[in-house]
Amino acid sequence: MSNKTQPRILVAGTGPAGLIAALALARAGFGITLIGPEVRKDDRRTTALMMPAIQFLDGLGIIEPIRTKTAPLRVMRIVDATKRLIRSPVVTFRASEIGGQAFGLNIPNGVLNDALEVSINAEPGVEWRKTLVTRWEFADDTITAVLEDGSSATGSLAVAADGRASTAREAAGITTTTHRYEQAALVLTFSHSRGHADTSTEFHTETGPFTQVPLPGDRSSLVWVATPAEVDELAALDEAELSRRVEDRMQSMLGRVAVEPGRQIYPLSAGLPARFAQNRVALIGEAAHIFPPIGAQGLNLGIRDVQELIDIVSKNTDDPGSKAALAAYDRRRRPDIFARTGAVNLLNLSLLSNVIPAQLARSAGLTVLGGFAPLRALFMREGLRPGSGLRSVFSDLREQIRR
């Protein structure tokens, strides 16, 4: 924590990315004005966060108070449940293969949001204005948010955490390529008669992934991606029929299923801005990258946005929104965001595609991963932290050459 008074930073948006950014930037010594409504209490999703993200949140004091409400992810499995001619074998990733106890933790969004809210309310460095930004005004060395309640806030940098339809991004003149998928996700939780053994299973189907993620006890969360019409039909079923459909899809892997009350639908889309910072605005979270929920990437990537941003603004304390600082942020985030966005969209498209070469490529990729342990280890390490898989291959090689 620095003793020097730093220039003010505005954070727009009170989803998980904005809350984490506000808290972490305040702890780094910056005065923060957080702008956005009360934290959402009705989000029934859960978020699988990988160990690097968990360690970062732990450093902010978020994890210990909620640990008992989270479930470890020790095994992650991909099952090709398509009925196509070309299918791949089941691929199983075990954290123990790369010397870890778990890949990460699955956290109910309501639990994570509540914990972030409690910490922010106790954080003297954060002033929270519970309203919306209606307009952004730009000057040479400041940026001002004009707010719905008639007040305004000025800072050196604005962190845009205002989600997929970010108005801060648009005001900064950053264009975005978007694509709406003919897919939606049905989200719910369910209990089951057989234990999940801390295993998450992603079933790949012709309409998208069907992903079960463990919760504490004999409960799991489900993200069922299908066409919007199918999702509407599923969401309208009574509990007994929906439970039966979930159990069928899971090939009774977890025994008898009983869905719990409360279902939500999320339409799926993809979006990639042309830049990740410009005109005193830095994009984080879904303002910076939108893609379908495959392989638990979204908020993990959002947390890496926050980590990189803190590193850069801490080296530019005189003017964290300067051109040099924003250019560094844009440069640093590009490879990671492009790689994750590209991989997730490609995998999703290869599932939907009826084209044989696309199915062949996906199946061949998964078959090689399933059968070749060193490649699987590389993939798992890269999944946790970009660059760490390759670094580990090089250090193994160095070790072998030394011997």
Ligand X SMILES: Cc1cc2nc3c(=O)[nH]c(=O)nc-3n(C[C@H](O)[C@H](O)[C@H](O)COP(=O)(O)OP(=O)(O)OC[C@H]3O[C@@H](n4cnc5c(N)ncnc54)[C@H](O)[C@@H]3O)c2cc1C
- Residues forming the site for ligand X (CB under 6 A): 12-18, 35-37, 45, 47-48, 132-133, 161-163, 167, 185, 187, 223, 266, 285-286, 293, 296-300, 302
Q: Where are the alpha helices (DSSP H) in 266-403?
A: 298-314, 323-352, 356-371, 373-384, 388-402
Structure letter (DSSP) for residue 142: -
Nearer to ligand X, 14 or 363 (CB): 14
Nearer to ligand X, 47 or 176 (CB): 47
Nearer to ligand X, 105 or 257 (CB): 105
Measure the CA–CA gap between 344 and 379, rounded to whole angstroms. 14
Nearer to ligand X, 105 or 316 (CB): 105
Classify 66 as helix, strand or coil: helix
Beta-strand pair 277-278/9-12: unpaired
Nearer to ligand X, 169 or 192 (CB): 169
DSSP 210-256: EEEEEETTTEEEEEEEE-HHHHHHHHTS-HHHHHHHHHHHTTTTTSS
Nearer to ligand X, 79 or 301 (CB): 301
CA angle 48–221–105, rounded 5-degree value? 25
For the bound state, the minimum distance from the C-beta of residue 403 to ligand X, rounded and expressed in Å, comes to 39
Please, which residues have CB within 8 angstroms of residue 283's CB and are 6 or more apart in sequence?
160, 166, 168, 169, 174, 273, 276, 277, 305
For the bound state, the minimum distance from the C-beta of residue 401 to ligand X, rounded and expressed in Å, comes to 37
- The one-letter code for the residue type at 241 is E
Structure letter (DSSP) for residue 83: -
DSSP 298-333: HHHHHHHHHHHHHHHHHT-TT-TTSHHHHHHHHHHH
- The one-letter code for the residue type at 279 is N
For the bound state, the minimum distance from the C-beta of residue 119 to ligand X, rounded and expressed in Å, comes to 16
- Identify the residue whose tokens are 């057989």: 194
Nearer to ligand X, 319 or 336 (CB): 336
Nearer to ligand X, 118 or 132 (CB): 132
For the bound state, the minimum distance from the C-beta of residue 113 to ligand X, rounded and expressed in Å, comes to 9
For the bound state, the minimum distance from the C-beta of residue 160 to ligand X, rounded and expressed in Å, comes to 9
- Taking the alpha carbons of 39, 41, 47, 53 in that order, is the dihedral positive or negative? positive
For the bound state, the minimum distance from the C-beta of residue 270 to ligand X, rounded and expressed in Å, comes to 12
